[in-house]
Structure 1
Amino acid sequence: MLKLVTIFVVLVAATLAVHDKFRVEFQWKYINVTWPSEDARLAALQNEEYIPENNAIAGIKLWKHRMYLTVPRWKNGVPVTLGVTSATPQNNVTAPNLEPYPNWEMQKVGNCKAFQFVQSMEIDPKGRMWVLDTGRTATMTLEAKARCTPRLVILDLENDGKVLRSYEFPENVAPKESAYLNDIVLDHREGGIAYITDNGKEDPGIIIYFLQNNTSWKFRHESTNAEPEFTGFMVANTRVTESVHVDGIALSPASASDRLVYYTPLSSLHFYSVPTSVLINRTETAGDYVRELGRRTSQTDGIAMSATGVLYYGLIADDAIAAWDTKQSDALMQTVISRDHRLTQWPDTFAFDEEGYLWCVTNSLQNFINNKVNISVPNYRIIKSQNGGLKSYQYFENGTAPELPYIAAGASQITFAFASCLTILLVSIIQ
């Protein structure tokens, strides 16, 4: 049963930090990549390994003036699912080609050591990228195929993207045939924890991954399910009717004493929260601690939390971006900070950089879903706004980072299983 709180919706500026107007930093008519050669590009076009209109940007994160972007394999013809480019337009080019990250080898479809389907990732304050790979391709088509086991891969951005960890989720946590790893936030306490939304149609929920002992479990609750009455909506005169379970996820900032996981299905107007303590402890009655926080004016995709407790999110059907200062009220107080019916169609993912800017991908996904992408006009944009120097939830309010867990290079499930057995053996010897 959900614990209800009083709902407040305020559509005027309140106590939020002053934001500059969002401006377009990059925009593409279609996504292209840096090919090994012109012959390789032509061959990919001929073989339909590259279909320009099937490539759409979804995720964004920034690290040391580089911009990492995801291109989910929603449809066939996506050669690079995780790419990188400069975070500053070079030579006034605002539609740069994406370089495969960390390399071409990691983009091979059907190779389970490579990325199959990346929609989201997070970068911790030490430059380690936590990448979600659903393992399935062409998920928006009738040709969807479960190629590899859903997994979490941790890359070292400070060491050319070297793989530090590759964890395959067990079938009872993320079913290979239906899991959809959507978004991720990081908690650096307790040896390192990731909270991951899985909005697979068969078994939606929030996955909790423990770095220290390399295990995971899934929190399932009615609040993670799509709400049928909010499935259909309009964006720029195009109707969307997809039913999408738990999607956006955020974590209260590092300075908070009792941290909460915030989340919402895309097919919903409600925000929910659950204490991290019950998720960390695998509490059987964790659902009893879920709170409904209030009702938005529109459906929302990605959400993001600042170090000061400001939650940012899109209002998809309103072509707008909103914010809520969670420190001012534990019930939703909505403030629209930007609205543009041309530039802000489908705000998807947010990111913070090191210069105090808030970034957002807007990708007109309503056209992509309905096979209406016109590659002769701009479709995908990255906009940004000065947000008063705020950092992400991973930092303390004073801008410093907490102590982060160590991740050994080359660590694997086998390594950790062996380490666990060795620990048990040593304890028994000592006793």
Structure 2
Amino acid sequence: MKLNSRKRMFYLIYLLLLVPGVWCLLPPKFQWKTLDFAWEGQARDSAIKSGAYIPENNMPAGIARWKDRLFITIPRWKKGVPASLNYIYLNSTHSPLLNPYPSWADAFLSSKACCASSNSTVVSTFRVHVDKCGRLWVVDNGVTNMAHDVKQIAPPAIFIFDLKTDKLMHRYTIKDELLRDSSVFTSIVVDITGKECKDAYAYIPDMGSNALIVYSLKDNDAWRVENHYFHFDPHAGVYRVGGIDFYWSDGISSVALGPIKKNCRDLYFHPTSSTKQFAMSTKLLKNKNVPREDIFMGVQVIGNRGPQTQATACDFDLEHNVLFHTLLSKNGVSCWNVDKPFKRDNVPLIISECTALEFPNDIKVDHEGSLWILSNRQSRFLYEAMNFTDVNFRVLSAPVASVIQGTACERTSAVSKAFSFMTRPRCNSECKVNSGTT
């Protein structure tokens, strides 16, 4: 029996919706084989001779956009990192030089430094946050040479920079009683639910000791929150990324804030070595004196993303109500529209590419609706050796609306979804060979 044109169209749509696929991504906006800096005069040669700059020891870990600048962090995993907090301009070349922030004088640390250069010196940070008031929030671990012989240069602290003036607005030293010997602060997210910028709360995962530090700017006070859901899942500690097998027991490493509801929000979180998603109300977290049993019972287990979905970072897009994750073992990014049930069909892998997204380490949604992703081949950097004739570090970006178009994260009809599916390329999500080629 012959189908008329209308029936043929819907039959095609039906078939397309049954075909699994992962979208390919756009070419990287920025990429580097090794990171270099906008040195002044002959400073580069001097830094190389002294060991203050070892190009192969610089690996980017975090990103955040503000207007025409993209901030890029370099944790001091190894010796030879001149500046941990840096920025580039969006209209830069494809492989731009990094500018230390807020200045060379503040950011630079020599290989033999005993202490911070100034009150504005960020020693070692992973991920940073730009809030809606035009401020850059940074949590500094204050250590150097983390992968080998850790040296404490400064106490862990929270920095707040005014991006309009590039001046340090405030610095808060994290109290000793909030720290543990294993403390490692990997990210920071800021909650401003009222009209006043000073009424802000920062949530800081302590990945190393399975806790969350909450900081109130208005009160200039911080407290420690602990919960058993902040710990890693021993069944999700095995990884294979870039052809390298390793085991991590990392706890909570990244958090994201959902929409405002009656002056509070849901804080979405996950341990790195876990495939589960959790949430808890900021109403509990903002109360320094909340009973421990309320914290214990206040976590909601959202669901499980599925095998090999351990995630380093996450961020939330308030316009589309979508939570994004960077998935290490999938070399890609997944999403979830929080208006839909948390089940695997609604948490799709939407971007995956074996080379360009090998070890996706950070993800951010900026204030203009664009998604930013940083990949850095961290498993090679820490456990093997990078090939510095290849491109190793990449920053990719696209509008959120285009990234989620035609996926379960988009609010759309089945017909629109199918036609979107027909117009976008697909690529294989399985990385059979990780050659490391560009």
In the superposition, the TM-score normalised over structure 2's length comes to 0.79
Q: Evaluate the alpha carbon distance shift between residue 321 and residue 72 of structure 1 in structure 2; reply closer, same or farther with a 3 A threshold.
A: same
From 45, 51, 54, the equivalent of 1:42 is 45
2:301 is aligned with 1:301: no
Q: Distance in 1 between matches of 2:162 and 2:202?
A: 17
Q: In the alignment, which residue of structure 1 is the partner of 2:58?
A: 55
Q: How far does residue 151 in structure 1 lie from its aligned partner after superposition?
A: 0.5
What is aligned with 2:32? Answer: 28
- The equivalent residue for 1:94 is 94
If asked which structure has higher relative contact order (CA below 8 Å, sep 6+), I would say 1
Name which of structure 1's ranges 187-196 and 327-336 shifts more when overlaid on structure 2: 327-336
Aligned counterparts, 1:31-430, within 5 A: 31-37=35-41, 39-88=42-91, 90=92, 93-109=93-109, 110-111=115-116, 113=119, 114-141=121-148, 143-159=149-165, 161-175=166-180, 177-189=181-193, 191-200=199-208, 203-254=209-260, 258-282=264-288, 283-284=290-291, 285=293, 286-296=295-305, 297=307, 298-307=309-318, 308-329=320-341, 333-388=346-401
SS of 1:46 mapped into structure 2: helix
5+ long unaligned stretches in structure 1:
1-11, 391-431
Q: Deviations over 1:153-182 (max 9, x none)?
A: 1000101x111110001012134x532111
Q: Distance in 2 between matches of 1:25 and 1:13?
A: 31
Q: 1:129 to 1:359 in 2, by over 3 A?
A: same
Displacement of 1:23 in angstroms is: 3.1
Q: State the SS of the aligned residue for 2:56.
A: helix
Change (3 A) 1:13 1:248: farther
CA distance in 2, matches of 1:362, 1:335: 19
- The 1:47–1:224 alpha-carbon spacing in structure 2 relative to 1, beyond 3 Å, is same
Structure 1 residue 20: Cα displacement:
8.8
> Contact 1:13/1:336 (CA < 8 Å) preserved in 2?
no
Using a 3 Å threshold, how does the CA distance of structure 1 residues 94 and 360 change in structure 2: closer, same or farther? same
Structure-2 separation of matches of 1:265 and 1:47: 39
How far did 1:381 drift? Answer: 0.2
User: Are the counterparts in 1 of residues 33 and 392 from structure 2 also a CA contact under 8 Å?
Assistant: yes
User: Which consecutive aligned stretches of 4+ in structure 1 deviate over 6 angstroms post-superposition?
Assistant: none
Q: Provide structure 2 residue ranges, at least 5 long, that are not aligned to the other structure.
A: 1-15, 110-114, 404-438
Q: Tell me if the contact between 2:314 and 2:364 (Cα under 8 Å) persists in the aligned partners.
A: no
Contact 1:22–1:338, Cα closer than 8 Å, also in 2: no
User: Quick one: which amino acid aligns to residue 338 of structure 1?
Assistant: I
Deviation string 1:28-62 (CA, Å, 9 cap, x unpaired) is 0010011112x311121122111111111111111
Q: Which residue of 2 aligns with 1:422?
A: none
Point out the structure with max Rg over C-alpha: 2
User: TM-score, length-normalised on structure 1?
Assistant: 0.80
Q: Superposition RMSD on alpha carbons, in Å?
A: 2.3
Shift of 1:137: 1.3
SS in 1 for 2:81: coil
SS at match of 1:167: strand
Letter in 2 for 1:62: R
Q: C-alpha distance in 2, partners of 1:67/1:102?
A: 13
Aligned to 1:419: none
Counterpart Cα distance in 1 of 2:49 and 2:397: 36
What percentage of residue pairs aligned between the two structures are identical? 27
Please say if residues 316 and 365 of structure 2, whose CA atoms lie closer than 8 Å, have aligned partners that are also in contact: no
- Asked if the contact 1:358/1:386 (under 8 Å) is kept, the reply is yes
Corresponding residue pairs, total: 367
